[in-house]
């Protein structure tokens, strides 16, 4: 029940601050771009668009979300409430994944690419990974400029290898890189068992770290350990 309430709270929060309107506009722009491209380019273009925006929106927007919550003293309420850090993190990941799924589905349909189920699964997992990374960074910053500065290296380390991997420019052994596996899934290709295991392992590790970071943030704001 608490998790459901937290998810609904996050959805209302995102709607209030224009997340849905922004992605409605961006989705229309992305679809226009896809339709303007030659058909032979659309599959890879759709994968790049899905991976670099809806799938990674948590990394881009988590700083603004957490800073707004801090400004409204929401973490103070969470710190003294029965809400658990794991529920807080899960709600953030779930609510942003919902937007990612809708946008990814529309882009995939517009590009007329196959294996839609694999694309959506890759989008959900990628969204979770990027959201968890965003939470880890957001809990440690005090300004939006600082968040942007911290996330730039993450973006370079994630996006550059993944895009190079999409065009098969990277060495074969990098196919097991969790981020590259996510790109494979977003482009509609089924991962190997080892590749999928690395993705799940990375997600679990990031979840544990993000939970600890949220607990530390709540404690520093005013939460008390009894």
pLDDT digits (tens, 9 = 90+) for 36-85: 999 889 999 999 999 988 888 888 888 888 888 888 888 888 878 888 99
Diameter over CA atoms, the chain: 62
Residue with tokens 């658990």: 84
Mean per-residue pLDDT over the chain, rounded: 88
Q: Backbone dihedral region of 187: left (phi > 0), alpha (psi from -120 to 50 degrees) or beta?
A: alpha
Cβ burial, residue 17 (10 Å; 0-12/13-18/19+):
middle
136 close to 210: Cβ distance less than 8 angstroms? yes
pLDDT digits (tens, 9 = 90+) for 170-191: 888 888 999 999 999 999 999 9
Q: Backbone dihedral region of 141: left (phi > 0), alpha (psi from -120 to 50 degrees) or beta?
A: beta
Which DSSP letter does residue 226 get?
Answer: -
Give the Cβ contact number of residue 173 at 10 Å: 7
Name which of 157, 196, 156 is nearest 176 in CA terms. 196
Residue with tokens 């948590």: 58
42 close to 113: Cβ distance less than 8 angstroms? yes
Q: Looking at residues 21-47, what average pLDDT do you find?
A: 91
Three-state secondary-structure class, residue 174: helix
Which DSSP letter does residue 170 get?
Answer: S
Identify the band that residue 200 occupies on the pLDDT scale cut at 50, 70 and 90. very high
């Amino acid at each position: 029940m608490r998790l459901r309430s937290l998810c609904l709270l996050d959805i209302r929060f995102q709607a209030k601050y224009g997340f849905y309107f922004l992605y409605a506009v961006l989705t229309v722009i992305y679809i226009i771009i896809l339709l303007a491209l030659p058909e032979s380019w659309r599959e890879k273009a759709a994968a790049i668009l899905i991976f670099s925006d809806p799938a990674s929106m948590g990394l881009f927007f988590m700083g603004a979300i957490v800073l707004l919550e801090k400004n409204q003293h929401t973490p103070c309420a969470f710190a003294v409430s029965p809400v658990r850090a794991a529920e807080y993190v899960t709600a953030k990941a779930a609510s942003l994944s919902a937007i990612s799924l809708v946008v990814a589905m529309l882009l995939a349909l517009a590009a007329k690419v196959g294996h839609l189920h694999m694309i959506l699964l890759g989008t959900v997992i990628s969204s979770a990974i990027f959201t968890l990374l965003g939470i880890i960074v957001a809990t440690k910053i005090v300004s939006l400029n600082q968040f942007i500065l911290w996330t730039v290296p993450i973006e370079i380390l994630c996006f550059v290898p993944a895009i190079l991997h999409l065009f098969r420019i990277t060495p074969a052994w990098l196919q097991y890189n969790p981020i590259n596996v996510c790109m494979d899934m977003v482009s509609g290709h089924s991962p190997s068992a080892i590749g999928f295991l690395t993705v799940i392992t990375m997600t679990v590790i990031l979840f544990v770290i993000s939970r600890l970071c949220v607990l530390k943030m709540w404690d520093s704001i005013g939460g008390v350990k009894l």
